Structure 1
């Protein structure tokens, strides 16, 4: 849905010829530099899920929101400033279809997660764009999230994807400055934040590194091949432990052959033990720092223009530990129209040596138990 807004040429009955000429000249000059538009958009995604071996040991059947795509609505605006430069903004709210509550309303992860308040929890930023480059300020998707969507077979979906093995694969960063530049087939990006999660409070005077975040990425795409590399570091949000950090390095690629798109990816994680105690890698490793490799692979097959099948596998290798879980996913997505589709997704998570990876993330299954999940749902885009 699109609302276009342009400056109106106000007609004023002239008293003299000079007045009429001046009025028309000013009107034309204003109109040529003030073309703007605001787009209302969104996704509504809801389904029914059944999982077994929950943390209480039993099964659960429930209605769930945001399965293949997080449910959202937003406003996207652009104003032509002339000379190839535009002012842009995005305000995007996440919500849960099943109960009408706001999404992205937590800080921290796992047992440390608490509630905070965010109206535009998915994104809220403003900036300038032009000639293949963009600079924006606000709450924005991390570069790792930008990479995960096109390079994870499941698109870093809310359920049954790389997000289940690492919460940072779909992270959003508060108080951030983000640059993205496209140079032929190469896209370079950089990001910096003064405090990446303001659910913990604002910047702390005299504690410059508390909650700091920085990241960079390079992505190449030409013909059937696309590849990307990224790095990010985030410091603890707590003043007492602000020298503790999480560092991630990723590499991923896709290749298209006919109706098949193949995926492969790797992520290295180093997490200080004092950083977010709920981090599953840290809690699984008794050393001062936790290290883990995550690998994923998969493929999408376009059976018909309306039907797509996806298969994916994910493996977490935790250093100095045998708690190395893996997860397999199968999904079918059928388009009823350009805007509406129905889907069915199944996943199986395998645990051992005390690991507790559920199909929806760590800590959602009883330790040492495997878990199977199955979701059927419907998604509409507008």
Structure 2
């Protein structure tokens, strides 16, 4: 009887410990067909080229990149938690790994500590500028986002940083902020910082971000979104490190499972050439909470690009 009680106590304690720690496998499968005229080869947004309709995976005209990842969190007690996130890209064309950072875990490779005081994150991760744009951008930062393809992510050309130390404040009344920093030894001799300030509460989402590399140009972006009923309106102003700056204006309408989005950008300055007016038209139909089909037409710097696809989140 005593042995049985001891065994039950050990199992109960083990179950409690296991309940305090969890690991989750997740991912995205996204594939379709499309035609891309913008760019000059490769498979990354802004670097595609084809004059033929072909299979699309991880391209500018997919809603997102296919990926598989693992994340975990452990409750350390006293309100303190520790966690990690590893994420790898996947090309559904041939099954190859797509590491946007050059490695297998190129999409994410980081760990963090968090509590009531905020969250400290270390490693490769999406930077503060990305999260600022994601607060108000209408497509959910899709690959074919006209804002991201024109001005980057709040003026930042890429969505991720490697070797980043970042601190995010707790959310207070809808307000939060994050500061990311990369030491010069980890960034080719040039230290880099990236910061955001976000307000997201009810129908209003506002994001402000700025970033700069030593000996580089300041980049920044500010945007806002207002949702009312089945409709949303968004506008922004972005400066892509003095190379390109301008504004965006768009709206979306939701009718049950169907969502239609239109977004337009306009250059006010473009060091690389003429000033462009770019536009996106996106249609999505939800087959379930985790699966939807989509179609998008992107007018980007005098080129017409389009794609049809399906995305499943798991």
Which TM class, normalised by the smaller chain length? 0.7 to 0.9
Q: Deviations over 1:28-85 (max 9, x none)?
A: 6676555211110000111111245876998232211141122111001011111121
Q: Which residue of 2 aligns with 1:276?
A: none
Q: Which residue among 1, 25, 35 is the counterpart of 1:40?
A: 25
- SS of 2:266 mapped into structure 1: strand
Task: Return closer, same or farther for 1:49/1:149 CA change in 2, 3 Å cut-off.
Answer: same
* Contact preservation (8 Å) 1:156, 1:170: no
* Contact preservation (8 Å) 1:142, 1:171: yes
Unaligned ranges ≥5, structure 1: 1-10, 15-19, 107-116, 196-201, 236-243, 272-280, 282-291, 350-356, 358-369
Q: Which residue of 2 aligns with 1:183?
A: 172
Unaligned ranges ≥5, structure 2: 42-48
- Tell me how far 1:193 sits from its aligned partner: 1.1
- Equivalent pairs counted in the alignment come to 299
Q: Which residue of 2 aligns with 1:309?
A: 260
* Contact preservation (8 Å) 2:74, 2:82: yes
| 2: CA distance, partners of 1:329 / 1:253 | 18
| 1: CA distance, partners of 2:208 / 2:57 | 31
Q: Which residue of 2 aligns with 1:367?
A: none
* Contact preservation (8 Å) 2:220, 2:241: no
Q: Which residue among 174, 199, 204 is the counterpart of 2:162?
A: 174
Which residues in structure 2 correspond to 1:193-208 (within 5 Å)? Answer: 193-194=182-183, 203=186
Which residues in structure 2 correspond to 1:16-165 (within 5 Å)? Answer: 32=16, 35-52=20-37, 59-66=51-58, 67-105=62-100, 117-131=102-116, 133-165=118-150
- Tell me how far 1:162 sits from its aligned partner: 2.1
Q: Which residue of 2 aligns with 1:114?
A: none
Aligned-pair Cα RMSD in Å? 2.9
- SS of 2:53 mapped into structure 1: strand
Which residues in structure 2 correspond to 1:283-302 (within 5 Å)? Answer: 292-302=244-254
From the CA coordinates, give the structure whose radius of gyration is larger: 1
- SS of 2:224 mapped into structure 1: strand
- Tell me how far 1:318 sits from its aligned partner: 2.0
Q: Which residue of 2 aligns with 1:374?
A: 306
Q: Which residue among 250, 259, 282 is the counterpart of 2:230?
A: 259
Q: Which residue of 1 aligns with 2:45?
A: none
RCO higher in structure (CA 8 A, sep ≥6): 2
Runs of 4+ in structure 1 off by over 4 angstroms are: 23-34, 52-58, 319-322
Q: Structure 1 length as normaliser, TM-score?
A: 0.71
* Contact preservation (8 Å) 1:54, 1:60: no
- Tell me how far 1:375 sits from its aligned partner: 0.5
Q: Deviations over 1:173-232 (max 9, x none)?
A: 11111111212210111111125xxxxxx648xxxx823211211111222212111111
- SS of 1:68 mapped into structure 2: coil
